[in-house]
Structure 1
Amino acid sequence: MGIRTKFNLALFFVFLLGFAVTGAVSYQLLQRNARAEVVRHAELMMEAALAIRGYTVNQVRPHLEERLAVAFLPQSVPAYAATETLNEIRKKHPDYSYKEATLNPTNLRDRATDWEADLVSVFRNANAATKEIIGERETPTGHSLYIARPIRVSDPACLACHSVPAAAPETMLKLYGSANGFGWKLNEVVGAQVVSVPMSLPVENAQRAFTTFMASLLAVFVFAFVVLNLMLSWMIIQPIRRMSQAADKVSTGDFAIEEFAEAGKDEISILGASFNRMRRSLQKAMQMIDA
């Protein structure tokens, strides 16, 4: 097995190991970054919902107090305002969703589904320090990430509409009836704010970046492989081959060969200089014998 073959085998195994390790690390990193990007989108959507809630309470509801005495306006309810506003986003981005999933809601569209009810149960059974749950699930439109935060009855004013039907505004009862949305208690977790964001696009982008990176890495290896082989041939294999041929001629008494260049200070140049001295010494010795 020649030097070139040994060198190429060693280079191939080193590259194969590096390619595998780099691929595994970069894949995990890109997937983690993709998930972090989705989490940021979900958190931004959640913060938007909270901002809409706050705006409704502080800026909208005070201007509707007089009308609320005559007719119940769902637009004055923070949860309704946040849901309706973010539903506008769903018209262009149906994979994005926001829901105030409640176990016993006034508006039945907010009733928690089975998996949302499980999240509410986690918040109800966990301690108050559990402020958020982040998870992933399969949906009809693909893989999605969700962020859930508990809806806790922390304001006694909420009980004016949700304690017992007798305490609720008549205008609200006319609109929603008295069968749902009651029995809430102070500091009780009654639901969860749930934001769902699709993961398909960021994951596809991460996969595309991974494929591009690995293809580029392979191209760099092929280029390096060719360059290193050319350098190996020019700097090592060809000089050694010439020395081998020269040694064969000297061994048969043929000293009519050119000396090797001694200008460099690398190992091949030193070997060439040593060979030149050996050839001259042998030539002188043969001349002395012939004399």
Structure 2
Amino acid sequence: MGLKAKFNLVMLVALLIGLSIAAALSYRALHENAQREVLQEAAIITAAASAIRDYTSKEIEPLLTEQSKTRFLPHTVPSWAAQTNLRTLQRQFRDYTYKEAALNPTNPADRATDWETDIISAFKRDPSLKQFVSMRDSPVGPILSTSTPIRITDPACLTCHSTPAAAPPSMIDLYGSANGFGWQLNDVIGAQIVSVPTHVAFDRANEAFRISLLGLAIAFLVTILLLNLLLHFVIVKPVRRISTIAREVSLGNMSGAEVQVKGRDEIASLAESFNRMRRSLANAMKLLEGQ
């Protein structure tokens, strides 16, 4: 095996090891960043919903107090306002959803599904749990959901949700008396659940991974090519020239041209030393022939 073949074999092994390490590190970093991006999107939606709830409670509800005495207006309910506003967002971003799921909701549309019930149950089991992050499959790919508990901390909420007799008659007329009652103070009755598709962020991460890996591979190959050219012209070619002249000298041909010395590197030093040795050998041969 020649010097170039050995060199390329070592460089190929280095290339594979380097690409493997770079691929593992970049893949992990890019996908962790993609997950943080998805969580950030979910946090923004949650914050927007909380802002709508707060605005409805402080600004809208007081304005409609008199009208609510004769006809129940869901516009005064913070959860209704938040979900209605964010459904507008869902028209443009279909895979993004916001829901205030409840085990016993006043509005049947808010009733928790099986997987949402599991999340609410987790909050009920662990009162210290402030956020729950989960992943589920869907036709568009994995969906990441972040959930926060809905806990009854304001006694005023029990006015509408303790018993049907205590609730406003206008609310009973709209939703009936079968749902949304029996709530207890400090009880977890539901969860704010924001669902964000991961395929967008992870597709970007995978594309960036492929581009970075391709860029590293090209950089490695260009480096190997340049090192091969350097090896050929600086080492292999001069050594071959010295080897050819040495073979002629070994066969008794002392009249050939000397090795041309170029530069001041180790190969030039070797060529100069070889020329001196060749001249010394030629002089020695002449002395022997003269005797």
2:171 paired residue number: 172
Deviation at 1:108, TM superposition (A): 0.5
Quote the residue 1:36 is aligned against: 36
Q: What pairs with 1:98-109 in structure 2 (closer than 5 Å)?
A: 98-109=98-109
Q: Which residue number corresponds to residue 269 of structure 2?
A: 270
Q: Using the TM superposition, give the Cα deviation of residue 264 of structure 1 relative to its aligned residue in structure 2, in angstroms.
A: 3.2
- After superposition, give the CA deviation of every residue in 1:241-279 in whole Å (9 maximum; x if it has no partner): 001001112223323333334453422122112212211
- Structure 1 runs of 4+ off > 3 angstroms? 257-265
Aligned counterparts of 1:193 and 1:256: Cα–Cα separation in 2? 95
* Per-residue deviation, residues 143-189 of structure 1 (Å, max 9, x unmatched): 11100000000111111111111111111111111110011111100
> Do residues 63 (structure 1) and 59 (structure 2) align?
no
- Name the residue aligned to 1:133: 132
- 3-state DSSP class of the match of 2:82? helix
Following the alignment from structure 2 to structure 1, what is the Cα–Cα distance between the partners of residues 179 and 272? Answer: 100
Aligned ranges 1:1-291 → 2 under 5 Å: 1-128=1-128, 130-262=129-261, 264-291=263-290
One-letter amino acid matched to 2:125: N
User: Greater CA deviation, 98-107 or 258-267?
Assistant: 258-267
The number of residue pairs the alignment matches comes to 290
Cα offsets for 1:55-83 (capped at 9, x unmatched): 11111111111111111110110000000
**Which has the higher mean CA deviation after the structures are superposed, 275-284 or 188-197?**
275-284
1:77-129: CA deviations, max 9, x gaps?
A: 0000000000011111110100000000000100000000000000000132x
TM (norm. structure 1) is: 0.96
The offset of 1:236, in angstroms, is 0.7
Conserved 8 A contact 2:155-2:185: yes
Q: Which runs of 5+ in 2 are unaligned?
A: none
CA separation in 2, counterparts of 1:186 and 1:265? 89
Output the aligned Cα RMSD: 1.3
Report percent identity of matched pairs: 46
